[in-house]
Structure 1
Amino acid sequence: PDDGTANDALKKIEKKIVRDAEVSKLFNRPVPTDYLKNRLQKLYFDGYLAKYELNVYEFNEQEQPVSLKKNYSLDVFKDMVLYSSFKVSDYFYRENDSFGSQNYFAIIPVNKSGKNGGTIIIELKSKHNRLSRSFPDLLVEGGNDNADEFKDYSYAFYADNKLINQNGDFVYDLVNTEYNIPIRQFRFLTSQALYPEWYRRFSRFNHLVYKPSKRNMIIVSKEENALFYGITSLTFFFVMLLLFTVLVVCIRWLWLRIKILSISENRIKWGFKINFDRILYKTRIQFSMIIAVVVTLILVGFITFLFISTQYNTQQEQMIRDKIARITTAFEEGLFNKYINNIQHEDFNDFEELANTYSADLTLFDVKGVELISTQPKIYEYGLHVPRMNARAFIYMRRLQKSEYVNEEVIGDLKYKSVYAPLKNNKNETVAFLQLPYFSNEADYKARIGSLLNAMINVYALIFIAIGLFAVIIARQITAPLNFIQSSLSRIIYGRKNEPIKWDRDDEIGALVKEYNKMIAALENSAQKLAQSERESAWREMAKQVAHEIKNPLTPLKLGLQLLDKSWKDKDPKFDQKFERFSKSFVEQIESLSSIASEFSAFAKMPDTKMEVINIFDMLNQAVVIFKQMDNVQINYPQPEKAFLINADRDQLLRCFNNLLKNAIEATPPDRTGIIDINYLITSKNILLSIKDNGNGIPDNMREKIFEPNFTTKSSGTGLGLAFIKNSIENAGGKVWFETIVGQGTTFYLSLPSSEA
């Protein structure tokens, strides 16, 4: 396949090579070819093109090789142009018969004084094991280096089942015995990764295998860790869900508790207020635990991050300091003299070889801070940095006479560390300064810190989930006894037997339970005493009322009998007339006594109700028919269209209607025609009856006691009628209340549920 990135890079650099005067100057001179190769490598074939191995061949105007390597013929490359290559630019060609690799070559003419001075052949071959580049990203040509997109992939090329090229972390077999697929078909295969670490045993490799021909095969592989992928997915999902939940909860919480305006005394008042009173105790415990854990994790994470980043920077600094110490020792053994004065081209090759030996970039400065030689000449030739030593480093090394100095430096957007050391001769005199820049410092630091943050986020997310669940469980365990006590308190009924709470532990909740049990015991004792006192008081009041009511008819009976006895003894001639008159009065008083006894008996038998399903309108009609026949009374009662069934005691309900109608008639002044309006409102679950009169109404001071036994607004009567009505309606599951206006009348409302409700 074609390498578009390489093609674009080659199109740009070929013009620079043709215009490079130094190339023409060095051509066909007694200069080692390695210097020309190193110059081309450092200035043009670095960056993305560093993955290709560079070879340079020189031919004179007679097309004869002039370098030490004379086993190459220019005709070979010309034949490749004609028969086995594709042209990618003006001078560069790509070989078309190179399975498993990308090979390029260029035939570049050299002009001297307008004449043909010879030919330079530049050959690029793919490296079998591509190493990470050792040059700064700032020097990479263009911005289309997409190598990072495929850094997790591995690939291999097989020819005749033998490995000819590979790249990546996966270890391929030298001889293929595992992958056998049909020609021109894609197959997805999976193999288990063999790692000693327990957490990497969950890893596996997914392979995409393609066989373009019978002899060739391509394999692309990628590692996949199911455990890591699962944890990462769970973490991402949890973090997103957590953020969304927090957002929703915060909005709802703020909506319920933030008050911006209020209306009071018919005025709108603006103000900002937050109400914290409605937050549950359980929620506070959970929130406190989670906040405490989050703050702890953040502090621990920050301290860990700070410690590891500082430690890594220290390790990097120590590494480059150790490296420059070894290089300085090598220089001071006698190698530096040739780099100080009259630097030759071959010296650059030796300097480059020394730098490669220690896998480092080096720059040599004289005692005035002027650059003498560098393994990254592009930095100075492209004008990215003046060919001078860093000012701060120069002051420390030259003025302050430091034996070593590590400096933070910047070129454009690239930040890196450099270590400087002086070079001394055998007289212990400083004759030069050596710089070792660590260009990959920032990239390594970001990669390490990125891996650390990724691991910390995943681990902390799992810890947060576990702590969140733990907080919920602990909060429920803590508040469960409180909820149980609250439930028990809500079931306390004054005057009834309340069960004590059993708690086996001797802790704060146990102390609270003991106090609760003491309270209900004291409350039960108090309720019994109060009930006994109320019963005695009620019986005393009842006895007084009964005695008073019985005494009223007994007084006229006693007086009548005394008068009859005197008339009899005096032989009164009108005795017969008096006897007849007093007999009628005695009968009336006896009937009054019988009525009083009946009313007290009925009130005393209130709990003995006989509930049955009855039509409420039948009971109301019976009462209306009786009272409608009375003089000076008008009852307005619209007849219902259908029955309404309720659960009630038939006799008690009839007596309720009789008492209400009787009270309405008796409340009407003698000089006014009594008008009683009966209305009703029916729903699916209940009925609301209203009985309205046009009497005198109920005074304010009597309204609160209207339903109490023995209370009456009339000059005669027991005062049990409305109390009887209230108890009867409540026994049927209903409610009774009234509205009154003095001088205009009173309306009584009866609300009763349906028997089907």
Structure 2
Amino acid sequence: MRWPDPMQRPLFYFLLGIVLFGIAWSIHEPDPAYKAVRATADLQQGIERALQEVRLIAANEAAFVQEKGGDRWMVERLPVMEQERIRTGTVVFGLQGDSVSCWSGRSPLTVNELIDAHGPYLVLPQGIHLHASVERNGVSLHALRPIWTEPPIENRYLASGFHPSFHAPAGLLVSNADRSGPTVVAEDGTPIFHVAWREGAMEVGPWLWLHLIFVVIAVAFLVLGLWRSAMELVTNGRRWPGILLFGGALFSGRWLLLMWAPSTPIHRLPLFDPALYAASTAFPSLGDLLINAALLVAVAAFIQVALRGYAPGRSNALTMFVAWSLCLAHAAWITQLFIGLVNDSSVDLDLYHVQGLSGASAVALFSVALLFSSWVLLLATMLRTYMKDMTTLLWSGAVALAISIMLHHRYGIVDTLLFLWPVPLIIVLMAADRIPRFLQALIGVAMVAGISTHILTKYTGNREHRERAVLAERLAVREDPVVEVMFRELAPRLRAATELYGLLNGEQPCGPAELDQRIRQRYFSGYWERYDVRLFAFSPTGQALCATAPNPPKSFGGQQSEFTLPTVTVDMPDLFMQEQPGQSTFYHARIAVMPNDSIAPAQLVIELHPRSVAQGLGFPDLLLSGDDPLMRRADRYVQARYESGQLVDRSSGVAYPLRWTRTLNADGSLWYTEGGYEHLAKGHPEGTLLVLGLAEPDLTDLATTFSYLFAFFSVLLSIIVFIHMVRRSHGPPVLGIGAKVRVALGLFSLIGLAFFGWGTQRLLTRQYVQRFESAILEKARSVHAELQQRFDGEGPLGAAQIPYLDHLLGRASNVFFTDITLYTTNGTLLATSRPQVFATGLLGRRMDPEAYRQVVLKNASSFVHEESIGSADFLSAYMPLRDNKGQVLAYLALPSFADQAQREEERSGVLVAVVNLFVLLFALSVLVAVFISNWTTRPLDLLKRSLAAVALGGSNRPIRYRGQDEVGQLVEVYNRKVEELRESAEKLARSERETAWREMARQVAHEIKNPLTP
């Protein structure tokens, strides 16, 4: 007795799907407390091992420093310790008395704090460190290794977390506020810190992906079981009930899940976030769009299989008209869904800037590909079913198409490509018997990529217009979060400044020169130079004393009487933006100056009016908390700013006019095209007006977008075809000569282009780095020449010149459009145009050790290398600042903080250019592969057809082939054999005729000899 194969029974798949659902249901969020305890135990062991390593490093390096000295250590041991810093974060500082003799990395402590540091664990405001120190004969060496880092500012470059060398789980953090969690203790059992999980850390993780995998497999088995159940009805001759069962069960189950199913762990994934994409109840998220598109493809595939070989008994025009109408309605629905995905979602689908794409972008394009596939499957099924009555099919299709066109125009859709794109695909599918299958697939993919390119280009542009309008409105206000943060730090110092109060209470003379020299130059240098800083001083009685500007404060309303009359003292510790229609915006604040609470407060009014500064000198993003993706897009645009109709600021690339003469629309905006750029002007001509320009897409951009989509859809189709061929052949598919040629050419071009792209990217990156290094060195030489002229003959610079140096470097930074830092001859920070970077601890107050090694110890004339703050990488140029006699006054450093965003944009631009070229060449290589394969196999196909038609008595015509290659030799052999066969046929025919004549003559002779008698 032969048992039935369970794989052929639908019940088997249903049971297997239910079992897998049960397994998925059992995979749930792990216990946070248990996970925290385990993670803390592993962390404890890692910290204990790391402490022993730090102690060993301190002992070994202290012995080296004691024996050979700090300078020798910097020359010989620094490269080794730099590798250790990269691996574990360990830094080393050697002290000779109270001065640093050698160091690696950046110290979180000052020299005095290092001297006073004791114990193996240091809990600091910016993190927790392991610490080991060794003292020998006046030499002390300190080794520090970070356990937990907590930067003062958190953004996309800087984030708190455990050092990667401890392999702590993602989401685990140090929590000193909540002490209920597990504790990491010192060697003596003293608690060091408590750990906890970040909010939502356990909601996602490996368990969720494992849960998702089991759910997907379970759903696949349930759908397969439903497929086999419905297919049994089809096999028994009940096609339409089977189709209704499969499609109805899938769509009904999906609708029930959308309407009444509770939220599952899968909905915690970003793909199911409605903020990313939400269109309707049926499409509440991008993940649901993917699921619905996959189910639609399954239903379309089932319909195609179920109606294979189906021939309706009687086809009428009405039935065909309804079928055509459904196909065109389906196409219109896909078009509108695609437009909504591009136009009304947060998914980035701008293929002009592929560096901004994400996994959500790939999922969105994959969903679109599934939607188009479902339509093609249903169309092919309909054409195959009704193809026999071609005349009726064409007339009914023409009527349905005419009605579709009228409906689209009725609802205001005049873009013909949006509703006529199905026509070329219909023609290709109708001519399937006359077009090779591979070429048919290629043309179909190209057409889908073409309409997708049109939709993406058009509606991505509409979306970009909306985003640009919002960005222009925000930039027109000219909010400066950097200066707001700086003023928040400066306000307490001004409030407690004794010398300022001496000016305001009448103890010292108060005039414009004194107020400018003693207050503005001292407190408002560096980054403040971007603004026209106006100061207005008021006595404790409210009387106006002096000001750095001749006009009264604009924040008072511009009335002279309001400025001269006594004013009430008001304390405004934060900057406020003054906005009035038709006037330029500016910041203002009021500080109540009172060094102690026992005296009457005086008042200082501060106004910051924007000056014209070059675009690109912006403060780096790493000094701003949080992340604003929209503001990051500002770097894509060329910009111009007008104040009262005068150009005060512009970026390179477009020569904007000095005066604004265009008339804005009623809403205060204007779109116009000029010089190959599309510009948006927004604001007020008599106040602040901002212009944002973006290069118009050209044919190259359109070709690049088409190439991306063509390559993406081609890869998807290739995967599907390969799986189908493997399934049909139950193993590796057998390829014909044409297929082998196409595959070989495709792989060859893909591998060649991959190597070409890799080599090109490396070459362009190397050239870019060299160009950037040359540019920063050229700036360094210019700054050196300027500073050399100012300090020639003064000797080494010292602490007495710091206030003047800060002021001078701030001005020079705005002139040379770069950040400038000066170090003393022993590598200690002297002055900088970016004090916030050092004040917040993002950079140490000593020169980079590798730069010190090269420039100071090895006497290099200049040195450029890459440094980093968090995940932000930047180049720094170092060179000695010498006078005309060659004496070193200080060491000059130009860290490219301000160029970070520009550098990232240029780097990504290089990568995008290479990728665009790669994709474009890949698309062209596919076309070349088709041409070569057809050119190569066409004679073979002709030879095959000729051989199939060879017959002894047929008209065996020779093949005309002009080539002298192997195919030509084969054709020559064929033609020779055809000629031989013709001669043999003629001989055979002649022989048969002669034999017939002989037989007839023999019979005649026989009759003569033996006449017939009645």
TM-score of Structure 1 vs Structure 2, range by shorter chain: 0.5 to 0.7
Distance 2:890 2:828 in 1: 10
For structure 2, the 5+ residue unaligned runs are: 1-472, 504-513, 564-569, 999-1014
Partner residue in 2 for 1:108: 591
Counterpart contact for 2:855–2:863, Cα < 8 Å:
yes
- 1:362-412 C-alpha deviation (Å, 9 max, x unpaired): 222222221121111112211222211122222233333333222322222
What secondary structure is seen at the aligned counterpart in 1 of 2:909?
helix
Counterpart contact for 2:494–2:593, Cα < 8 Å:
no
- 1:18-63 C-alpha deviation (Å, 9 max, x unpaired): 32379625525797736754665568x67xxx97554444444455
Distance 1:228 1:494 in 2: 58
Report deviation, 1:490: 0.5
Structure 1 residue aligned with 2:678, among 193, 198, 205? Answer: 205
Distance 1:136 1:281 in 2: 59
Partner residue in 2 for 1:498: 956
Amino acid at match of 1:121: V
What secondary structure is seen at the aligned counterpart in 1 of 2:678?
strand
1:284 lines up with 2:757 in the alignment: no
What secondary structure is seen at the aligned counterpart in 1 of 2:619?
coil
**Are residues 35 and 130 of structure 1, via their aligned partners in 2, closer, same or farther at CA, if it must alter by over 3 Å?**
farther
- Give the alignment of 1:332-411 within 5 angstroms: 332-333=788-789, 334-335=791-792, 337=795, 339-343=797-801, 345-411=803-869
Structure 2 residue aligned with 1:99, among 571, 577, 582? Answer: 582
- Length, aligned pairs only: 509
Which structure is richer in relative contact order (CA contacts within 8 A, separation 6 or more)?
2
Counterpart contact for 2:571–2:590, Cα < 8 Å:
no
Counterpart contact for 1:163–1:174, Cα < 8 Å:
yes
Counterpart contact for 1:370–1:387, Cα < 8 Å:
yes
1:324 lines up with 2:783 in the alignment: no
Counterpart contact for 1:235–1:461, Cα < 8 Å:
yes
Partner residue in 1 for 2:749: 293
Distance 1:101 1:378 in 2: 28
Report deviation, 1:145: 7.6
Distance 1:367 1:358 in 2: 24
1:119 lines up with 2:603 in the alignment: yes
- Give the alignment of 1:740-755 within 5 angstroms: none
Q: Which has the higher strand share?
A: 1
Counterpart contact for 2:536–2:553, Cα < 8 Å:
no
Counterpart contact for 1:81–1:93, Cα < 8 Å:
no
Partner residue in 2 for 1:720: none
Using structure 1 for the length normalisation, give the TM-score. Answer: 0.56
Counterpart contact for 2:491–2:573, Cα < 8 Å:
no
**Are residues 176 and 338 of structure 1, via their aligned partners in 2, closer, same or farther at CA, if it must alter by over 3 Å?**
same
- Give the alignment of 1:532-543 within 5 angstroms: none
What secondary structure is seen at the aligned counterpart in 1 of 2:868?
strand
Partner residue in 2 for 1:131: 615
Q: Which has the higher helix share?
A: 2
Partner residue in 2 for 1:520: 978
Amino acid at match of 2:746: I
- 1:728-748 C-alpha deviation (Å, 9 max, x unpaired): xxxxxxxxxxxxxxxxxxxxx
Report deviation, 1:106: 0.5
- 1:697-745 C-alpha deviation (Å, 9 max, x unpaired): xxxxxxxxxxxxxxxxxxxxxxxxxxxxxxxxxxxxxxxxxxxxxxxxx
What secondary structure is seen at the aligned counterpart in 1 of 2:594?
strand
Deviates more, 1:480-489 or 1:316-325: 316-325
Partner residue in 2 for 1:439: 897
1:452 lines up with 2:924 in the alignment: no
What secondary structure is seen at the aligned counterpart in 2 of 1:364?
strand
Structure 2 residue aligned with 1:225, among 677, 680, 697? Answer: 697
Partner residue in 2 for 1:488: 946
Distance 1:8 1:177 in 2: 31
Report deviation, 1:236: 3.4
Structure 1 residue aligned with 2:550, among 57, 71, 74? Answer: 71
1:18 lines up with 2:491 in the alignment: yes
Distance 1:326 1:492 in 2: 86
**Are residues 232 and 51 of structure 1, via their aligned partners in 2, closer, same or farther at CA, if it must alter by over 3 Å?**
farther
Distance 1:36 1:309 in 2: 47
Amino acid at match of 1:288: A
Partner residue in 1 for 2:47: none
Report deviation, 1:150: 4.0
Report deviation, 1:211: 8.1
- Give the alignment of 1:546-585 within 5 angstroms: none
What secondary structure is seen at the aligned counterpart in 2 of 1:416?
strand
Percent of pairs identical after alignment? 21
Counterpart contact for 2:670–2:682, Cα < 8 Å:
yes
What secondary structure is seen at the aligned counterpart in 1 of 2:489?
helix
1:246 lines up with 2:718 in the alignment: yes
1:468 lines up with 2:951 in the alignment: no
Partner residue in 1 for 2:500: 27
**Are residues 392 and 140 of structure 1, via their aligned partners in 2, closer, same or farther at CA, if it must alter by over 3 Å?**
same
Counterpart contact for 2:589–2:606, Cα < 8 Å:
yes
Counterpart contact for 1:95–1:102, Cα < 8 Å:
yes
Distance 2:756 2:560 in 1: 64
Report deviation, 1:130: 6.1
Report deviation, 1:469: 2.0
Deviates more, 1:485-494 or 1:423-432: 423-432
**Are residues 354 and 461 of structure 1, via their aligned partners in 2, closer, same or farther at CA, if it must alter by over 3 Å?**
closer
Counterpart contact for 2:704–2:920, Cα < 8 Å:
no
**Are residues 32 and 8 of structure 1, via their aligned partners in 2, closer, same or farther at CA, if it must alter by over 3 Å?**
closer
What secondary structure is seen at the aligned counterpart in 2 of 1:99?
coil
What secondary structure is seen at the aligned counterpart in 2 of 1:422?
strand
For structure 1, the 5+ residue unaligned runs are: 195-202, 260-273, 541-757
**Are residues 447 and 466 of structure 1, via their aligned partners in 2, closer, same or farther at CA, if it must alter by over 3 Å?**
same
Deviates more, 1:396-405 or 1:167-176: 167-176
Distance 1:326 1:15 in 2: 34
Distance 2:887 2:648 in 1: 51
What secondary structure is seen at the aligned counterpart in 1 of 2:811?
helix
What secondary structure is seen at the aligned counterpart in 2 of 1:409?
strand
Distance 1:402 1:148 in 2: 38
Partner residue in 2 for 1:645: none
Counterpart contact for 2:585–2:688, Cα < 8 Å:
no
What secondary structure is seen at the aligned counterpart in 1 of 2:696?
strand
**Are residues 80 and 323 of structure 1, via their aligned partners in 2, closer, same or farther at CA, if it must alter by over 3 Å?**
same
Counterpart contact for 2:880–2:888, Cα < 8 Å:
yes
Amino acid at match of 1:139: L
Counterpart contact for 2:679–2:691, Cα < 8 Å:
no
Partner residue in 2 for 1:268: none
Distance 2:957 2:918 in 1: 48
Amino acid at match of 2:739: T
Report deviation, 1:310: 0.8
Using structure 2 for the length normalisation, give the TM-score. Answer: 0.43
Report which of the two structures shows the higher radius of gyration computed on alpha carbons: 1
Amino acid at match of 2:706: L
